[in-house]
Amino acid sequence: MCLAVPMKIIEINGDEGFVESSGLKRKANFSLLKNPKIGEYVLLHAGFAIERVKAKEAQKTLRMFESI
């Protein structure tokens, strides 16, 4: 089973940068996304941002993770 976690982009430096969720900061590779922007939510899987997600959906998913 694979799990991708919604995280917010907080820093971009070329194809790499950092994302954050619930106080947890991770390094991310953005090479699979076109024109990533700080403040956007992405699904992070194995260190790669694989897809953009809407903020409302990301927050809903994160609340669900916190309740588990």
Please state whether the predicted TM-score (pTM) of the whole model is above 0.75: yes
27 or 2: which carries more pLDDT confidence? 27
Instruction: Report the alpha-carbon distance of residue 63 to residue 68 in Å, rounded.
Output: 9
Encoded tokens for 28:
């991310």
Instruction: Report the alpha-carbon distance of residue 49 to residue 8 in Å, rounded.
Output: 10
Q: Judge whether residue 1 has pLDDT over 80.
A: no
Region of 35 (left: φ > 0; alpha: ψ -120 to 50; beta: rest) is left
Task: For domain 5-67, give the CATH number.
Answer: 2.30.30.140
